[in-house]
Chains A and B, each alone.
Chain A
Amino acid sequence: DAGVIQSPRHEVTEMGQEVTLRCKPISGHNSLFWYRQTMMRGLELLIYFNNNVPIDDSGMPEDRFSAKMPNASFSTLKIQPSEPRDSAVYFCASSKGPGGELFFGEGSRLTVL
């Protein structure tokens, strides 16, 4: 299996621009998670989906962040407009059910100038 695939691996953008991060979960996994990692706050859950439905989005910082999962094999995390404080590594992970073992993607490193 190819594992969880994230793109882009690195993104550098200017403040105010729209950023879209993409994730393809492992086939057969029905839970998908978006995490953010920063030096100051460590790892934080942003949102998770079960069977393509958002279950808990309490970690989404504000309205500038949105996430979608249109089908079982694809999810996006969008930031519009981006701000320098959004600079972080964003990880996507998937599992068989919300309580299953987690498999992480390699992460997308975002830098907002």
Chain B
Amino acid sequence: KNEVEQSPQNLTAQEGEFITINCSYSVGISALHWLQQHPGGGIVSLFMLSSGKKKHGRLIATINIQEKHSSLHITASHPRDSAVYICAVRGGGGTSYGKLTFGQGTILTVHP
């Protein structure tokens, strides 16, 4: 079992739909990152969170430390949101503090 599991692996939506991507992890962490990668492109950090909820524009990220679970929501989805969304967790301490363990990614396609 991977330390970081994302679901779904693939997601197709129509423009305007509300989208949720889930991430579950099995280890103690100090923070969780959500990353976005467009096809053939670089990686952009969307959120870094260790508790509660963060919002940036149409994107919302939540984390439940007790349940070891995080969700990324996209409201009013748009074709430009089509990308791979990657969940990554940072280790709890020592030299693992800087080490990210990545989920396998969720491929999101939003059709007009």
Instruction: Please name all residues of chain A whose beta carbon is closer than 8 Å to the beta carbon of B102 when the two chains form the complex.
Output: 42-44
Minimum CB distance partner of A106 in chain B:
B42
Q: Cβ of A98 and Cβ of B43 under 8 Å apart?
A: no
- Tell me the dominant secondary structure on chain A's binding face: strand
B105 touches A99 (CB 8 A): no
Flag if A102 contacts B99 (CB, 8 Å): no
- Partner of B98 from the list A99, A104, A106 (CB cut-off 8 Å) is A99
- Prevailing SS type, chain B contact patch: strand
Determine the chain B residues whose CB is within 8 A of the CB of A112 once the complex forms.
Answer: none
Asked if B98 and A55 sit within 8 Å, CB to CB, the answer is: yes
Q: How far apart are the CA atoms of A27 and B83 in the complex, in Å?
A: 28
A56 in the interface, Cβ–Cβ < 8 Å? yes
Given contacts A42-B105, A43-B88, A101-B48, contact A56 B99 (CB under 8 A): yes
Contacts of A59 in B (CB 8 A): 99
Which positions in B face A, CB cutoff 8 Å? 30-31, 33, 35, 41-45, 48, 86, 88, 90, 95-105
Measured CB to CB, the residues of A under 8 A from B are: 31, 33, 42-45, 48, 50, 55-56, 59, 91, 93, 98-99, 101-107
